Chains A and B, each alone.
Chain A
Amino acid sequence: MSYLAVEDLSISFGGIRAVDDVSFAVEEGEVFAIIGPNGAGKTTLFNLVSGIYSPDGGSVRFAGRDITSLPAHRIAPLGLARTFQNIELFEHATVLQNLLIGRHVHRRSTALSHLLFLPAVRREELEHRRRVEDVIDLLELAHYREQRIANLPYGVRKVVEVGRALCLEPKLLLLDEPTSGLNPEESEDMGFWIEDINRDLGVTVVMVAHDMGLVSRVAGRVLALNEGRVIAEGSAAEVQKNPAVVDAYLGAD
């Protein structure tokens, strides 16, 4: 049984089959990339897996558990975190608060004890803070800790979003275009971080990417989508040479 197993997943919006019988399997510990031209259904696929949309058909199994019909807030505590293509941070909060919000699934105290801020709550807060500081160290965000997201440049926001996902201490991380809009240097850093997250933290990574350089560097296996369907699967080099993929990107002659 694969770690993340997607079987015959489909969803339609109006008359458009955005995701059409897509199946793939991700093994524990690998970096798996999903590529495809614009409108291929990559982001929709992520939204289906992370529970934001519920599919018309098919199933998603994660760590041996059927999560197809679970809502997003029930999927996150199982150890599945994600980022968004267009950055969905908590704009009016600081970087630190954003990362602390990422620790929500690890809360142990109740709202009533928060009202009184009992000593146990303070201990828990300190523990959250220590874990968040680890992420800040890893992603070199110390400089921005107290800044509001609204005042941060785009590249930093992208990193903060990855940081927030890491604060969930996920087992599986879904990255939706982690390098889109980044300059070459920032992209390279992001590539290193993805490798670190995968190797040192032991997090399985599934990412949507356009940057083939990044994909060939970090991803073990690649899935190519076009118009909601799987057109190729294999190593980065194999997929890049696949005629169907070349057609999808460049158009058939």
Chain B
Amino acid sequence: MRFLFKTHYNQDIDHLKHGGDRFWYGLLLVLAAAAPAALGTFYLGELNLVMIYAIAGVGLMLLVGYTGQVSLGHAAFLAIGAYTHSLLLGAGLPFLLSIVAAVLVSALVGAGVGWIALRMTGIYLAIATLAFAMLTEQTISRAEWLTGGFRGLAVPQASLFGMPLTQGWQHYYVTLTLLVVTLLAALNILRSSTGRAMVAIRDSEISAESVGINLAVYKTLAFALSAGITGLAGALFAHRLGYLSPDAFTFLISLQLLLMVVVGGVGSMRGVIYGALFIGFLPQLLAIARDTLPPQIAQAPGLEPGIFGLILVLVILFEPQGIFGRWLKIKSYFQLFPLYRRATHRRQKTYLRTERLR
């Protein structure tokens, strides 16, 4: 077990708390940077997709895991980011500017949705965001003059610093860089007063208000941040798809994003990465499983969403803290060996919450 001797408050502020962190995250970064040399085109592409999911997941985690606002409509922000980026790229804007614009447009729409949904919480908010996603899908399919509707929209070739982005590894590095930037930005938010205000809103709105947090401002801000980051993922997703049409951004995508956050572990950024790996590679695992399963099961329609749903239910029942929570438990088992007891991580009941003000 590691005991940290703290001598400065900076040690609580820094992202990497000790030598072990620096070593392992450094190693991870080196491995991620070296991946294109070791992996074939297919798996590099899959890894790229996982990182795109992870970026979207960071956005959704800020909203769901840290602000406590559930969204079932994040596919819409993914779509808005993708379409904005493709259209602006087609209009001749440089790659980076177009990405920034996609982020800003998504954030703006997100702020609008957040502002409208201010008075809603829980299930009502989930339904409202779901409705917004359907509205967006419909709008995209009807606005043929702009988006091409169901005929689709070809995503133009991008080029960065005069170099056309044609190879898989080029996209991989762009995504990796943006994922690291996004993660750092999100973690920075979380260690400052803005992030703490979001956590405050998640845990007790009435207390948040009475320490001076403007609920309307911070909820709207959380929506905007979340939507902006998801829009960034959308812009990268567009290149992955190559051809945009409304049915690439269905309810199932929203559900997958939420599943990623829950399976990974609500309330942790590392959980997002675990969740993204899970969501990204599950279809591959299913494809492999299909070859070995009897055809009656393997060819059954709706197998994939069915499995996703089943996993979501099982995770909520047996490991509400997700993969990250399971990891913490395994870690403390070894750290405390042989003193670990099951009760260490038992969820405590909250008592005395009779007179909740709303």
Residue numbers of A with Cβ under 8 A of B are: 43, 47, 50-52, 71-74, 76-77, 81-82, 84-93, 96-97, 100-105, 107, 109, 111, 114-117, 121-122, 125-126, 128-130, 150-151, 154, 164, 168, 181
Q: Contact: A90 with B353, CB < 8 Å?
A: no
Residues of B within 8 A of A (CB): 9-10, 12-13, 185, 188-189, 191-197, 199-200, 202-204, 206-215, 221, 267, 347-348, 350-357
CA separation between A92 and B201, bound complex, in Å?
A: 11
Min CB–CB distance B10 → chain A (angstroms): 7
State how many angstroms separate the Cβ of B325 from the closest Cβ of chain A: 12
**Which of B13, B197, B215, B352 is in CB contact (< 8 Å) with A87?**
B352
A104 and B212: CB pair below 8 A? yes
Query: In this complex, what residue of B is CB-closest to A115?
Result: B185
A181: B residues at CB distance < 8 A: 352
Q: Main SS of the interface on chain A?
A: helix
Complex Cα spacing A74 to B212, Å: 6
**What are the residues of chain B within 8 A of A151 when measuring CB–CB?**
348
Smallest Cβ-Cβ distance to A107: which chain B residue = B193
Provided the pairs A115-B188, A126-B9 are in contact, do residues A52 and B207 lie with their beta carbons within 8 angstroms?
Answer: no
Residues A90 and B194 in contact, CB atoms below 8 Å apart: no
> Which 8 pairs of residues, A with B, have the shortest CB-CB distance?
A76-B212, A114-B192, A90-B203, A117-B188, A105-B212, A72-B209, A88-B207, A107-B193
Q: Which of these, A73, A92, A121, A126, contacts B209 with CB under 8 Å?
A: A73
Residues of B within 8 A of A101 (CB): 196-197, 199-200, 208, 211, 213
Contact of A71 among B202, B209, B353 (CB under 8 A): B209
The one of A47, A115, A116, A130 in contact with B9, judged by C-beta atoms closer than 8 angstroms, is A130
Q: Are B13 and A76 in contact (CB under 8 A)?
A: no
Contact yes or no, A90 B192, CB < 8 A: no
Q: How far is the CA of A152 from the CA of B206 in the complex (A)?
A: 21
CB neighbours (8 Å) of A122 from chain B are 10, 13
Docked pose: A90 CA to B355 CA in angstroms = 16
Do residues A105 and B357 form an inter-chain contact, with CB atoms below 8 A?
no
Contact A72 to B200, CB < 8 A, known contacts A91-B350, A115-B189, A130-B9? no
Contacts A52-B210, A52-B357: A91 and B9 contacting too (C-beta < 8 A)?
Answer: no
A–B Cβ pairs within 8 angstroms, 15 of them: A73-B215, A76-B210, A76-B212, A85-B355, A86-B355, A86-B356, A89-B203, A90-B199, A90-B203, A91-B203, A91-B350, A104-B213, A105-B211, A115-B189, A122-B10
A109–B133 Cα distance when bound, in Å, is: 34
> Which residues of the partner chain B approach A51 to less than 8 Å between Cβ atoms?
209-210
Complex Cα distance, B347 from A91, in Å, reads 12
User: Judging by beta carbons under 8 Å apart, are B196 and A164 in contact?
Assistant: no
**Candidates A77, A90, A130; contact of B204 at CB < 8 Å:** A90
The docked-state distance in angstroms from the alpha carbon of A164 to that of B214 is: 17
